[in-house]
């Protein structure tokens, strides 16, 4: 783990019989400290990083001359930024793949013209498609970086021992055993789970946009809310309210919930569409 490596290096260099203490990390950053940061930045490929990542790296860089504690915080923060950029790329690829697959299915099902296909596909490139989930991802990233820094500082305040460091870096395979307020590894895993939730939620959102755009292009006037197996009470209530006028239909997931896998279909009227295609 990237954080483990840098934390171990700092411990090996500065800890004494009392562990790693406040007085040690509060001293002025040395040439070695600054070199650790510079090496970490040089070894990180930032050529295609988004602006959100760059702004955070610049903020960390500005604080590295304060003291050793801020160098350590910057190194841990950089690890979180690297992970967030990776998650962002994975989310973008998966959402785009799911949406394109659905778009092709809808184009074939409704036999859209070339012009209609272009209008339907424009949903995929709208800035708003990415804005909401990207902002949430970086908020989660900042929270993770702050939590890691707070946990490390809590141990340093009382003199961080090798055992403290091992406990912080211990992870648990079973989510029921997670100790996110005590384990950096568990807290990082929680962030990964949040990223997967974003994938499922935003994939459903974009697929819903593709479907509703296609329905409007095809002249559909009413839609039914169709629940996934084991749907929650909220979604069951939305299904009970069907059919909905096309412009009054509830949105997925805004009117349902994160991780929603329900969907909408043209209302059961043969004048709208041939349901054998579903």
Give yes or no for residue 192 having a pLDDT over 80: yes
Task: Give the relative orientation of helices 184-217 and 114-121 as an angle to the nearest 10 degrees.
Answer: 150
Q: Is the pTM of this model over 0.85?
A: yes
What mean pLDDT is predicted for residues 213-217?
94
Q: Are strands 244-245 and 222-226 parallel, antiparallel or unpaired?
A: antiparallel
Partner residues linked to 226 by β-bridges: 263
DSSP assignment of 198-238 equals HHHHHHHHHHHHHHHHHHHHTT--EEEEEPPTT--HHHHHH
Percent of the chain clearing pLDDT 70 (strictly above): 96
Boundary-marking domain end, from 166, 201, 218: 218
Q: Is there a single domain that holds both residue 71 and residue 178?
A: yes
- How many domains does the chain divide into? 2
Domain that holds residue 207: 2-218
Q: Is there a single domain that holds both residue 72 and residue 188?
A: yes
Q: How many helices (H) and strands (E) does the chain have?
A: 10, 3
Boundary-marking domain end, from 202, 218, 234: 218
Give yes or no for residue 275 having a pLDDT over 60: no
N-to-C CA span, the chain: 46
Cβ atoms of 145 and 138 within 8 Å: the answer is no
Q: Is there a single domain that holds both residue 107 and residue 60?
A: yes
Q: Is there a single domain that holds both residue 130 and residue 245?
A: no
How does pLDDT run across 24-79, given as a tens digit for each residue?
999 999 999 999 999 999 999 999 999 999 999 999 999 999 999 999 999 999 99
Environment class of residue 108 by beta-carbon count within 10 Å: exposed (0-12), middle (13-18) or buried (19+)? Answer: exposed
Q: Is there a single domain that holds both residue 124 and residue 60?
A: yes
Q: What is the pLDDT of residue 269?
A: 60
Q: Is there a single domain that holds both residue 225 and residue 213?
A: no
Quick count: other Cβ atoms within 10 Å of Cβ 130? 18
Boundary-marking domain end, from 190, 218, 246: 218
Phi, psi of 29 (to 5 degrees): -65, 130
Q: Going by C-beta distance under 8 Å and a sequence separation of 6 or more, which residues neighbour residue 8? A: 165
What mean pLDDT is predicted for residues 222-240?
95
Q: What is the pLDDT of residue 172?
A: 82
How does pLDDT run across 133-185, given as a tens digit for each residue?
899 999 999 999 999 999 999 999 999 999 999 999 988 877 788 888 899 99
Q: Is there a single domain that holds both residue 135 and residue 197?
A: yes
Q: Is there a single domain that holds both residue 164 and residue 58?
A: yes
Q: Is there a single domain that holds both residue 257 and residue 131?
A: no
Coil/strand/helix, residue 16? strand
Tokens at 251, concatenated: 């949105």
Strands (E) in 129-217, as ranges, are: none
Q: Is there a single domain that holds both residue 228 and residue 209?
A: no
Q: Is there a single domain that holds both residue 212 and residue 226?
A: no
Q: What is the pLDDT of residue 102?
A: 94
Q: Is there a single domain that holds both residue 202 and residue 130?
A: yes
Cβ atoms of 223 and 265 within 8 Å: the answer is yes
């Amino acid at each position: 783990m990237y954080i483990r490596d840098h934390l171990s290096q700092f411990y090996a260099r500065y800890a004494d019989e009392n562990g790693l203490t406040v007085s040690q990390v509060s001293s002025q950053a040395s040439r070695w400290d600054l070199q650790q940061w510079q090496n970490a930045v040089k070894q990180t490929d930032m050529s295609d990083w988004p602006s959100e990542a760059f702004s955070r790296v610049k903020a960390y860089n500005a604080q590295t001359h304060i003291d050793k504690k801020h160098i350590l915080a910057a190194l841990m923060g950089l690890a979180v930024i690297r992970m967030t950029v990776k998650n962002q790329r994975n989310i973008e690829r998966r959402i785009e793949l799911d949406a394109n697959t659905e778009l092709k299915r809808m184009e074939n099902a409704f036999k859209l013209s070339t012009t209609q296909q272009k209008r339907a596909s424009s949903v995929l490139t709208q800035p708003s498609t990415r804005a909401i989930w990207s902002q949430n991802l970086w908020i989660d990233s900042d929270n993770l970086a702050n939590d890691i820094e707070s946990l490390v500082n809590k141990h340093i305040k009382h003199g961080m021992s090798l055992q403290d460091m091992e406990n912080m870096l211990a992870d648990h395979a079973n989510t029921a055993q997670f100790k996110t307020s005590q384990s950096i590894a568990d807290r990082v895993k929680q962030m990964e789970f949040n990223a997967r939730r974003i994938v499922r939620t935003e994939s459903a959102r974009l697929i819903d946009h593709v479907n509703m755009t296609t329905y409007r292009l095809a002249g559909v006037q009413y839609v039914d809310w169709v629940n996934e197996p084991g749907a929650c009470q909220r979604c069951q209530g939305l299904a009970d309210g069907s059919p909905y006028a096309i412009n009054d239909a509830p949105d997925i997931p805004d009117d349902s919930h994160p991780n929603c896998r329900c969907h909408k279909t043209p209302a059961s009227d043969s004048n709208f569409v041939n349901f054998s295609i579903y």
